[in-house]
Structure 1
Amino acid sequence: MTNTVLLVGNLGADPETRSTRGDTTITSISVGTSRPKRDSEGKVLKDPATGYTVKDTEWHRITCFNGLGKTVGQFATKGMLVSVRGRIHYSQYEKDGVTRYATEIIAEDVQFLSRGKQASNPQSDLDLDEDVPF
């Protein structure tokens, strides 16, 4: 049996990267996914003022480790469209005597579906303004 999750959505904030004492890189991102909101009869709701479809958005906590964490931390930016493949991880902890539960996605692969940050060296071998024959 497999625990596999596939999400496509937008980053809600810039990634947060930290390292452990053992030099493991951990990067956390928040990915929002949306779907049309429906009424009690199952019809898609429209905003009367704008005519646009009303959406329900859910936010997912994603954790990336080591090389993937470094890449996501370096190139991902708020608003960027990404595809995340990973597994669901549930945990529980106690805070102030109350048991709390957390759900996160442990990423195995993150694909950037829109442009992100430029590399630290913005110069490249190719000037994008030049005409290039294909």
Structure 2
Amino acid sequence: MNNVQLSGRLTKDVDLKYLQDGKAVSKFNLAVDMGLSKTKKKELEKKNKATAEFIPIIAYGKIAENVANYLEKGSQVLINARIHTARYEKDGENRFITQIIAQNVEFIGSKKKDNNTSDDVPSIFESNDGCFLDNPNDEGFTE
């Protein structure tokens, strides 16, 4: 079974692009809390160390468009995804990348500074689109 579930906040607005065939692809980063105790978290913050993992997420098709249209920096989401590994060539060398591909994105809260959620924002974005990039480097989503 290839299933990943992540909960966190978008670290910046969603980057939406369209492939040559017209299919939407979006990328965003998710800040996922490490689940540290309050004491450990404060200790790391004093040392200016990370207390969250910053995970790049890719979405395709309708889910990519919905995420770009409705979510923004600070949006809190729950993502069900799968891991995809890809091989591509750059400068004559084979390179490998592991991608987190969103299959379901659920809006679970508002931005920290604004606790008012809008009724026009769908709570769940789902996709059965099995699309992935054959050469992920071509779309500017790697390195």
Fold conserved between structures, TM > 0.5: yes
Indicate which of 48, 64, 82 corresponds to 1:69. 64
Structure 1 residues 88 and 13: alpha-carbon distance in aligned structure 2, compared to 1, 3 A threshold: same
Q: 1:95-134, aligned counterparts within 5 Å?
A: 95-115=90-110
Which residue of the partner structure matches residue 89 of structure 1?
84
Identity across matched positions, percent: 26
Give per-residue Cα distances to partners, 1:49-89, cap 9 Å, x unaligned.
x89xx753212221111111111010110111111101011
* Paired residues of 1:34 and 1:55 also in contact (CA < 8 A): no
- The structure whose residues are more often helix, as a share, is 2
* Paired residues of 2:41 and 2:51 also in contact (CA < 8 A): no
Q: Quote the Cα distance in structure 2 between the aligned partners of 1:46 and 1:59.
A: 16
Q: Secondary structure at the match of 1:69?
A: helix
Structure 1 residues 99 and 36: alpha-carbon distance in aligned structure 2, compared to 1, 3 A threshold: same
What one-letter code is carried by the residue in structure 2 that aligns with 1:64? A
Structure 1 residues 55 and 102: alpha-carbon distance in aligned structure 2, compared to 1, 3 A threshold: same
Structure 1 residues 95 and 59: alpha-carbon distance in aligned structure 2, compared to 1, 3 A threshold: same
* Paired residues of 1:19 and 1:26 also in contact (CA < 8 A): yes
Which residue of the partner structure matches residue 29 of structure 2?
30
Give per-residue Cα distances to partners, 1:77-121, cap 9 Å, x unaligned.
0111111101011123333345433221111100111237xxxxx
> Segments of 4+ in structure 1 off by > 6 A?
none
Who wins on radius of gyration, i.e. which is larger? 1
Q: Quote the Cα distance in structure 2 between the aligned partners of 1:98 and 1:12.
A: 32
Q: Secondary structure at the match of 2:34?
A: strand
Q: Secondary structure at the match of 1:72?
A: helix
Which residue of the partner structure matches residue 127 of structure 1?
none
Equivalent residue pairs, number: 110
Structure 2: which 5+ runs fail to align?
A: 112-117, 121-143
Q: TM-score, normalised by structure 1?
A: 0.68
Structure 1: which 5+ runs fail to align?
A: 39-43, 117-121, 125-134
Q: Quote the Cα distance in structure 2 between the aligned partners of 1:56 and 1:90.
A: 27
Q: Secondary structure at the match of 2:68?
A: helix
Q: Quote the Cα distance in structure 1 between the aligned partners of 2:88 and 2:51.
A: 29
Q: TM-score, normalised by structure 2?
A: 0.64
Q: Quote the Cα distance in structure 2 between the aligned partners of 1:93 and 1:61.
A: 18
